[in-house]
Amino acid sequence: MTSVRFRVIEPFRSIFYAPNLVAIHGGHFAAEGLEIALTTASHELNAADALRDGRVDVALSGLMRSFDLIDRGGPRLVHFAAVNDRNGFFLLSRAPRPRFAWSDLAGRTVLSFAGAPTPWLCMQAVLRRHGVDPARVTFVRDLGTPEAAAAFRAGKADFLEHGPPVVDELIADGTGHLVASMGEATGPVPFTSFMATPETLARERATLVRFTRGFHRAQRWMASASAGEIAAVIAPAFPEIDAGVRARAVERYLRQGTWNREPVLTRAGYEALEEILLGGGFIKRRHSFDALVDTEIASEAVAG
C-alpha cells in the first residue's frame, strides 16, 4: 500500500478530540498507509479558509460551521465522518449546589466558552427546555480560556462553562463545583465531524475511504479501551497536562458516551442540531441533509 501524506486541521487541541489523536498516535491511520500532518487552527488560519485554498485536505469541525456558511450563501463544506456525539462542555458553579436546577442560572452571570458558538447555543436550548428564558442569564462570551479561568477565580461570575483540563483544575483546587454535564443535558447531537470541500470529496474519494477506515479502527479500539489506556495513547499530544487530570477527563467523556463508535452521520442527529441552531437564531432556514453530509464514504469504510 502506497503511503499518502494527508493534511488535517483541528480547531484547537483538546481531549474532546481524543478519537483523532488516538487514530494518529495509536497507529490506526498509519495502518491504512496514511501519514497525518496535523495543524491547529488559529486567528490567522481557520479551517474553512484552509480547506478552500487547499492548505489542508480535511478539517475536524462542527456541522455548525457548514450550516453557517451555506445559510449566508457561502460555499458548501461537507461532513463525512462522525467524531463526537455529545457536547463536550461542563458547567461549574462557584458555590456547591447539591440540588442544582437550571432556574439557578436566572439572574446570574455565566462565563461561556468563547472558541465556538455551539456550546452557547446548546446552553440556550437546554434552558428553554427547562422553562428558563436565556435572556434572563448574563452570558460573557469574549474571554479566552486563561482569562475566563482567571475571572472565575476572581469571583467575577457565578458559573463557568468549559471543557478539560480547565474544569478539572478548577474542581481540584476547590474554585469550582461541577453541577452539570452539558453533554448529558443537551443529549445526542453531531457535535464534531470531519469535513472537506466537495472537490476534495470527488478527487480524493479513495483516500478519504482509507482515512475513515483508519479512523474507524480507532473508534473500535476506544470502544473497548479503559480511560487509562486512552489517556496513555494521547499523552504525546498533551505533555503539559497531568496524567491524572488527563485520565479523569477521558473517564468523564467515556461515561457520558461522548465519542461515536461508528463514523456514519445520521439524519436524526443532523436534524437535532439544526433545531438548536434555528432556535438560537444562528441560522435562518433549514438546509438539506444531503447538501452538507456524505454518508457513503463512512458506510464504505465500515463495510470494508
Model pLDDT for residues 223-249, shown as the tens digit of each residue: 999 999 999 999 999 999 999 999 999
Give the residue numbers spanning the domain of 105.
Answer: 90-186
Average pLDDT over every residue of 146-175: 94
Looking at residue 44, what is its pLDDT? 84
Distance separating alpha carbons of residues 171 and 135, to the nearest angstrom: 28
pTM, two decimal places:
0.94
Same domain (yes/no): 292, 150:
no
The mean pLDDT value for 109-131 works out to 94
Average pLDDT, the chain: 95
pLDDT confidence of residue 45: 87
Given 154, 186, 218, the domain boundary residue is 186
**Measuring CA to CA, which residue among 151, 202, 160, 153 is closest to residue 178?**
160
Do 298 and 193 belong together in one domain?
yes
Instruction: Specify whether 195 is located in the same domain as 137.
Output: no
Domain count, the chain: 2
The residue among 186, 209, 225 that closes a domain is 186
247-294 residue pLDDT tens: 999 999 999 999 999 999 999 999 999 999 999 999 999 999 999 999
| 79 and 101 housed in the same domain | no
DSSP 102-169: GGGGTT-EEE--SS-SHHHHHHHHHHHHTT--GGGSEEE----HHHHHHHHHTT--SEEEE-TTHHHH
How far is CA 165 from each of CA 103, 249, 268, 278, rounded to the nearest angstrom?
27, 7, 31, 31
Closest alpha carbon to 263 in 299, 291, 303, 237:
299
Say which residue, 43 or 211, is predicted with more confidence: 211
Q: What would the grid cell of residue 75 be?
A: 460555499
193 and 299 part of one domain: yes
Q: Is residue 116 predicted with pLDDT exceeding 90?
A: no
* Residue 216: pLDDT band with limits 50, 70, 90: very high
Pair 296, 202 in one domain: yes
- Of 213, 183, 211, the closest CA to residue 302 belongs to 213
Domain CATH code at residue 193: 3.40.190.10
Residue 50 sits in the same domain as residue 73: yes
> Rounded mean pLDDT of 135-150?
94
The pLDDT tens digits of the residues spanning 176-197 come to 999 999 999 999 999 999 999 9
Lowest mean per-residue pLDDT among 71-80, 98-107, 164-173, 285-294: 164-173
Look at residues 186, 203, 230 and tell me which one is the last residue of a structural domain.
186
* Rounded CA separation 156/180 (Å): 20
Residues 299, 210: one domain? yes
Q: Mark whether 154 and 198 lie in a shared domain.
A: no
- The DSSP call for residue 298 is H
Same domain, 200 and 270: yes
Q: What is the mean pLDDT of residues 102-127?
A: 94
Q: Write down the pLDDT at residue 43.
A: 83
Residue 50: the pLDDT is: 94
Tell me, yes or no, whether 24 and 157 share the same domain.
no
Q: What is the pLDDT of residue 1?
A: 63
pLDDT greater than 90 at residue 303: yes
pLDDT average, residue stretch 1-19:
91
